[in-house]
Amino acid sequence: MTLIPYALARSFLFKMDAEDAHEFTLANLARTQNTVLDRAYRQPFVADPVTLAGLKFPNRVGLAAGLDKNARCIDGLGAMGFGFVEVGTVTPKAQPGNPQPRIFRLPAAQALINRLGFNNEGLNAFIANVKKAHFRQHGRLLGLNIGKNAATPIEHATDDYLIALAGVYPHADYVTVNISSPNTKNLRALQSDEALDGLLGALTARREALATEHGRRVPMFLKIAPDLDADQVGVIAATLNKHGMDGVIATNTTLARDAVSGLPHAEEAGGLSGAPVRERSNRVIRLLREALGPHFPIIGVGGILSGHDAVEKIRAGADVVQIYTGLIYKGPELVTEVASALQQMKAR
Ligand SMILES: Cc1cc2nc3c(=O)[nH]c(=O)nc-3n(C[C@H](O)[C@H](O)[C@H](O)COP(=O)(O)O)c2cc1C
């Protein structure tokens, strides 16, 4: 039990505009992390270690990217009991993102729609924040998620990813290459055959050079969309193997609206997350597991709002899971619920 029941905090936060509530929460996390005030959200840590991509994950629940885009609250989020925390997406240069409003709650569906568009303070500010965090000293894993600036033409996208990779490399336990946000024009086109082949070829070659320079080989994961057919997933799986990528994160938000049609805000542009993306994400995970075999690391994300949902994701083929929207609806208690459910699943 935390000091403040999340149901109470939520009823206050949900009266605010979604992005204001987000900023308010992050500002308070940043202010209180590493102080006694973190008792307001601190959770017991559930140990459930698993080795994946050569990394020892202390438990199987992580924070998904996009909640802490500027890496301001790594320790505060860590206190909630995550075994791994992924921050970003960071782009080489700072950028404002899309005009507000750009986050919408759909409470009846336990969902969000966002079209933030990688609003962030850029690589330098991000790295400065990452360096301040103590999280990694406790054996927890930090993932750094990279993307491209909106102003960079898609034909030069690789340049942005290479700059970002070199910048985050020395500070990351793993790096996530995010090519699946629906809110940066043409980004998802990077998931298609030739574009993906070129991008991953360039990134894995640069990784070899960085591994020599820093004396450490940092695993790289690719984050993909749920809106892919079986053939597209098959091509992605083959390309991941071809380039020696270390894992895949499935999935990002969906453009589909069938599960929320008729609800207020359902027609807002952007990516839909939370309960309505769960089955779409599980479908992609199943396809990936089939195509990649039993040993390729898969991080499952999309629509986890309970321990049961997380167990279902592992059964679909994921090795570990991440949450974002569930944290907004259920609060830090969800981290413990998920970590415990997965720990018990292993014990059985
Ligand atoms: C407001 C918001 C912002 C997000 N920003 C990012 C981002 O910057 N990079 C990224 O890789 N994913 C981002 N995501 C996607 C999440 O990491 C996650 O893949 C997706 O929301 C599905 O999981 P969920 O249903 O648990 O939220 C964002 C999601 C939300 C709701």
Q: Quick: pLDDT tens for 289-332.
A: 999 999 999 999 999 999 999 999 999 999 999 999 999 999 99
Residues with CB under 6 A from ligand 1: 64-66, 69, 89, 103, 112, 114, 116, 118, 145, 178, 181, 223, 252-253, 273-274, 277, 301-304, 323-326
The predicted-structure confidence for 211-266, as pLDDT tens digits, reads as follows 999 999 999 999 999 999 999 999 999 999 999 999 999 999 999 999 999 999 99
Strands of the 103-106 sheet, one edge to the other: 103-106, 111-114, 271-274
Atom of ligand 1 nearest to the CA of 69: 8
| Residue 183, pLDDT score | 87
| Residue 53, pLDDT score | 98
The predicted-structure confidence for 191-208, as pLDDT tens digits, reads as follows 788 889 999 999 999 999
pLDDT above 70 coverage of the chain, percent: 98
Spacing, Cα 247 to ligand 1 middle (Å): 18
Spacing, Cα 312 to ligand 1 middle (Å): 19
Kind and range of the H or E element at 164?
Answer: helix 157-168
The predicted-structure confidence for 155-195, as pLDDT tens digits, reads as follows 999 999 999 999 999 999 999 999 988 888 888 888 788 88
pLDDT above 90 coverage of the chain, percent: 91
Total-model pTM: 0.98
Whether residue 181 lies in the annotated active site: yes
Atom of ligand 1 nearest to the CA of 326: 26
Q: Are 225 and 254 in contact (CB under 8 A)?
A: yes
Atom 15 of ligand 1, residue of closest alpha carbon: 252
Catalytic pick from 181, 273, 281, 340? Answer: 181
Spacing, Cα 131 to ligand 1 middle (Å): 23
Mutate to test the pocket of ligand 1, among 95, 253, 327, 335 (most ligand atoms within 8 A of CB): 253
Q: How far is CA 307 from CA 6, 282, 333, 343, in A?
A: 17, 15, 11, 10
Question: Has residue 348 got a pLDDT over 60?
Answer: no
String of DSSP letters for 296-345: S-EEEES---SHHHHHHHHHHT-SEEEESHHHHHH-THHHHHHHHHHHHH
Q: How far is CA 323 from CA 178, 230, 254, 272, 331, in A?
A: 16, 24, 15, 14, 11
The DSSP symbol for 254 reads B
Longest dimension (CA), the chain: 54
| Residue 188, pLDDT score | 87
Atom 1 of ligand 1, residue of closest alpha carbon: 114
The predicted-structure confidence for 31-87, as pLDDT tens digits, reads as follows 999 999 999 999 999 999 999 999 999 999 999 999 999 999 999 999 999 999 999
Number of helical H runs and strand E runs in the chain: 11, 13
Phi, psi of 244 (to 5 degrees): 65, 35
| Residue 180, pLDDT score | 87
Atom 5 of ligand 1, residue of closest alpha carbon: 66
